[in-house]
Amino acid sequence: MFGGLLPENVSSFGGDIDSVFRLILYVVGFFFIVAEILLVYFAVHYRRSRSRHAVYSRGEKAREAAWVLVPAAIVLMFDLGIDAAGHRAWALVKQNPPRGEVEVLVTAKQFNWNFTYPDKSGKLDSSNSVTLENELHVPAGKVVRIVLTSEDVIHSFWVPNFRLKQDVVPGRKIVAWFKVARPGTYEIACSELCGFGHYSMRGEVIVHTEAEYARWRAEKSVGGGATR
Ligand SMILES: [Cu+2]
């Protein structure tokens, strides 16, 4: 249904996010079509005509209220259904991040993404840790845990192909994660208007095969255990 409309999903939880998108599209789409059909029907059916005159109706309070309350209750039921489905996806993606097999510190600043890797002894914040600009290298098939922080304003870390979007807030360290099965290069964008260079705040996630990633780590002196 979304073929071609959304960027290809490559992350482990992307399918769950897409099913929430689809559910919302179906529910909202259904009510949109019903409302538009009724709108046109009423406009045509009750148009001004010589043979019929307008009537003054005092109405009945209960019946009038029912016309509002019954549809409101129906819409609320659908809404709760969307909430329940959304909550399942939310819990999976945001609430209990799995233990990371690779950990990277992401520092956003106007208008770059800095990715810091642990040094040989596994420390993320030492003077030997390795920092790359706008390039996030990760292995395929592993849980990658990213810790997001900002040096200046609020940014938002967005990888459309992963269905991952997380605000990056100065003064806070927010954890996010992803797991991607297929090697490839995927675009990172900032999705929070953060200043005049916001449009240029982009980077790339390069998902390597495990062997390639090990080579890359050796080359860059990135530490942190076999994968972490
Ligand atoms: Cu930004």
* 42-64 tens-digit pLDDT: 999 988 888 888 888 777 888 88
Antiparallel, parallel or unpaired: β 202-208 and 135-139? parallel
Which residues are found with C-beta within 5 Å of the ion, ligand 1? 155, 190, 194, 201
Predicted confidence at residue 50, as pLDDT, reads 85
d(CA 205, CA 220): 16
- Residue 139: both structure tokens together: 């292995």
Domains of the chain by range and CATH?
Answer: 14-95 (no CATH), 102-220 (2.60.40.420)
Distance 178 CA to ligand 1 centre (A): 20
**pLDDT value of position 127:** 76
* Cα(68) to centroid(ligand 1), Å: 43
Q: Is the pLDDT of residue 78 over 90?
A: yes
- The reported pLDDT for the residue numbered 59 is 76
Using the mean position of ligand 1's atoms as its centre, give its distance from the Cα of residue 37 in Å.
42
Q: How far is the CA of 191 from the centre of ligand 1 (A)?
A: 7
Better-scored residue on pLDDT, 96 or 12? 12
Q: Could you tell me the distance, in angstroms and rounded to a whole number, from the CA of residue 126 to the centre of ligand 1? A: 25
Residue 150 CA, ligand 1 centroid: distance in Å: 9
Ligand 1 centroid–CA 88 distance in Å is 29
Measured in angstroms, how far is the CA atom of residue 165 from the centroid of ligand 1?
Answer: 12
- Give the list of residues 6+ apart from residue 11 with CB closer than 8 angstroms, or none: 159, 161, 162, 163, 164, 178, 179, 180
Task: State the distance from the centre of ligand 1 to the C-alpha of 176, rounded, in angstroms.
Answer: 17
Measured CA distances, 83 to 31, 73, 79, 163 (Å): 17, 15, 6, 18
Specify the pTM. Answer: 0.83
Q: How far is the CA of 109 from the centre of ligand 1 (A)?
A: 7
Q: List pLDDT tens digits, range 164-217.
A: 999 999 999 999 999 999 999 999 999 999 999 999 999 999 999 999 999 998
- Tell me the pLDDT band of 112, cut-offs 50, 70 and 90: very high
- Angstrom distance (rounded) from CA 106 to CA 104: 6
pLDDT at residue 128, as a whole number: 77
Contact of 139 with 150, CB cutoff 8 Å: no
Task: Report the separation in Å between the CA atom of 42 and the middle of ligand 1, taken as the mean of its atom positions.
Answer: 47
